[in-house]
Amino acid sequence: MRFAFVEFHCGDWPVRLMCRALGDSAGVLYDWRGYPPSVGHRRRESLAFEVEAIHRRTRARYGSPRIHAELAAASGRCSVNTVAKLMRERGIAAKAKRRFRRTADSNDHRPVAENVLGRWFDPGAVDRASASDITYIPTRAGKLYLAAVEDLHSRRIVGWSMLERIDSRLIVDALEMAIARRLPEAG
């Protein structure tokens, strides 16, 4: 009963101004006054019903571009922006596919190197124990792989290497740099 005082207005523009001031659309007033829904409103409701049906049929896998393609193929004219807006208004969203991330090859049956460090992370002197790891850095040109060698006593990076692909040469170069910089004694 919010719009009861609007009855005396004549013409459409005062209604629109009043609705804008109150933060509602003019459709709310026309619904309240009992006017039949407009052709555009009926078309949007029909389109929304079709969008929901396609969304259910595809098990929520399609986003607005693919739903629009199905609607365009079936019924003809509709805009991808209209489909996106209808989906947004009704809370319809595609399920995002989780990215597959390859971590380790569990079927690799090659021998694993012996753990000579035995969780001995505080060797007590420089150049007695080192650890290394490989990571990648995303760049505009693609991934850049980085291998680093750390002296466990001083906690300093003593050797590193970067390549565009992950390769045994990456690790060998990092180890060679560490040996050349620190010149550890034999053993």
As a whole number, the mean pLDDT across the chain is 82
Q: By the 8 A CB rule, do 174 and 147 touch?
A: yes
- pTM score over 0.75: no
Q: Return the number of other C-beta atoms located less than 10 Å from residue 68's C-beta.
A: 21
- Return d(Cα 167, Cα 172) in angstroms, integer: 9
What kind and span of H or E run contains 162? strand 156-163
Sole residue written with tokens 């007033």? 29
Q: By the 8 A CB rule, do 147 and 133 touch?
A: yes
Residue % of the chain over a pLDDT of 90:
28
- Return d(Cα 38, Cα 134) in angstroms, integer: 63
Indicate if the pLDDT at residue 29 is higher than 60.
yes
Give residue-wise pLDDT tens across range 85-124: 999 999 999 888 777 777 666 677 778 778 877 777 778 8
Give residue-wise pLDDT tens across range 139-156: 888 899 999 999 888 889
- Return d(Cα 148, Cα 157) in angstroms, integer: 7
| Mean pLDDT, rounded, for 77-88 | 89
